[in-house]
Amino acid sequence: MKTINVGLVGITGYAGMELTRLLAGHPCMRLCMACSRAEAGKRLGEYYPFLNHMPGADVVISVFDPQEAARQCELVFLAVPAGTAMDMADPLLRAGVKVVDFSADFRLRDPDIYAQWYKRDHICPELLHKAVYGLPERYADAIAKAQLVANPGCYPTSVILGLAAALKHDFIQTIDIVVDAKSGATGAGRKASVPTLFCEVSDNFRAYGLPTHRHTPEIEQELSSLVGHDVLLSFNTHLLPTNRGILSTIYTKLKHPETTLDEVHAAYVSTWNNSQWVRVLPKGALPETRFVRGSMFCDIGLVVDSRTGRLIILSAIDNLCRGASGQALANANLMCGLSVETGLTALAPLA
C-alpha cells in the first residue's frame, strides 16, 4: 500500500489528540507534520506520552507554514477554531494540498447564515461552493472528488443520521422537531477553564447554550436539503459528566398517529441495511454511548408512543471519533482513494 503523508494543524485539543491516536493505527497514512504554536519544538510523544512506541511519536511539533505543509503533505487536517481555519485553508488549497477542516468555517453554504451565527464575516465565501459537507453516508462520491471537506459537527452528525430515514420515508412532521442532545465533556474542549474542571463537571449535569447553539443552522441546512424545504427545529444541548459520547433524543410528531413501530423499524432497517456504521437496534432496544465509544458507529433506537402520537429517535455516537477525528479520517480516506473505513475498524474498550 502506498504511503500517504498527512499533516495536522492543532494538536492540543481533544480532536487533535484523537487524530494522533487514530493515525498511529492507520495502515498507510503517515503523520509527518504536527503544528502547534504553543508546543513547537517538542516531540509529539513528549507532549502525548500515550504515543510513545507508536507511529507519530517522533514527529517534532512545528509552527504552521503553508509552504512547508505543501512540501511535506498530500493532505492536511485543520483542527483549529472556527475563524482560524478560514485563514489557513486558502493558502493550503492554492498550494494544491487537500484539506479536511474540523471547524464550522466551510459547513454552511450561506455566508450570511455563517455571519449571523458565528458573529463574524466569512473571509473566503468563494470557497464555500468548493467545500463538500463530509458526511460519508450522504456525500461519499462528492467527498472522493473534493479538495476541501468541511467535517461535520459532532451533534449534527448524530441528529442528521438519526432523522434521515424518518424524513426520507415521510413518517414525521417537519415542524416541531425537538432535539434534546447530551454530550461528554471532551466536546467542551481542552482549554483551561474553571467550568470544565473535574470537580465542576463530576457528579453534575446541566444544559448550556440554549437556545442558540451554533450547530443549529448546520442541522437545519442538511435536513432541509434532505426534504426539499425549510426545516426549523429546536436544538438544545447538555453537558454530561463523561469523557465521550453524544446521545441525541429526538422528539417528532408522526404524520399518521396510527403508524406502528414495526413500520418505522422496517423502514430504518431498509435504509441502513448496507451501512457499515449505522446500526439500527432491534425493536425495544435503546442505544448507550459506551457501545459506540471510540468508534464510527451511530446506534439508533426507535420508540413509537401512540399515546402522544410521537416517534422518538435516539441516536448515539462518539463525539470525538465519529463526531470529529474519525469522520475526518474517513473523509481523508475517500479523498485519497482509499476505502472509507481504512484504519477505523478497531473496537475501543467498552467498560
Assess 249 for contact with its own copies (CB under 8 A).
yes
**Sign of CA pseudo-dihedral 77, 82, 86, 91:** negative
Note whether 329 and 18 are within 8 A (CB).
no
Assess 113 for contact with its own copies (CB under 8 A).
no
> Which residues in the 252-291 window bind its own copies by CB under 8 A?
253, 276-277, 279, 281-282, 285-291
Note whether 302 and 261 are within 8 A (CB).
yes
Applying CB under 8 A, among 40, 170, 305, 339 the residue interacting with its own copies is 305
| Residue 300 Cα distances to 62, 68, 159, 244, 250, angstroms | 41, 43, 10, 17, 11
From the list 219, 215, 204, the residue with the least C-alpha distance to 237 is: 215
Catalytic position from the list 32, 73, 124, 154: 154
Closest contact distance (angstroms) between CB of 147 and its own copies is 29
Report the distance separating Cα 338 and Cα 116, nearest Å: 37
| Residue 9 Cα distances to 76, 130, 182, 225, angstroms | 7, 21, 28, 31
Note whether 283 and 304 are within 8 A (CB).
no
Q: Which is nearer to its own copies, 68 or 341 (CB)?
A: 341
DSSP annotation of 211: T
Q: Which is nearer to its own copies, 3 or 52 (CB)?
A: 52
Closest contact distance (angstroms) between CB of 325 and its own copies is 10
Q: Which is nearer to its own copies, 69 or 248 (CB)?
A: 248
Size of the site for its own copies (CB under 8 A): 93
154 included as an active-site residue: yes
Closest contact distance (angstroms) between CB of 144 and its own copies is 22
Assess 176 for contact with its own copies (CB under 8 A).
yes
Assess 345 for contact with its own copies (CB under 8 A).
yes
Report the distance separating Cα 91 and Cα 103, nearest Å: 17
Assess 147 for contact with its own copies (CB under 8 A).
no
Assess 122 for contact with its own copies (CB under 8 A).
no
Assess 294 for contact with its own copies (CB under 8 A).
yes
Closest contact distance (angstroms) between CB of 138 and its own copies is 19
Q: Which is nearer to its own copies, 103 or 315 (CB)?
A: 315
3-state secondary structure of 300: strand
Bridge partner residues of 100 (DSSP): 77, 149
Assess 241 for contact with its own copies (CB under 8 A).
yes
Segment interacting with its own copies (CB under 8 A) among 77-85, 98-106, 128-136, 303-311: 303-311
Query: Which residues are known to be catalytic?
Result: 154
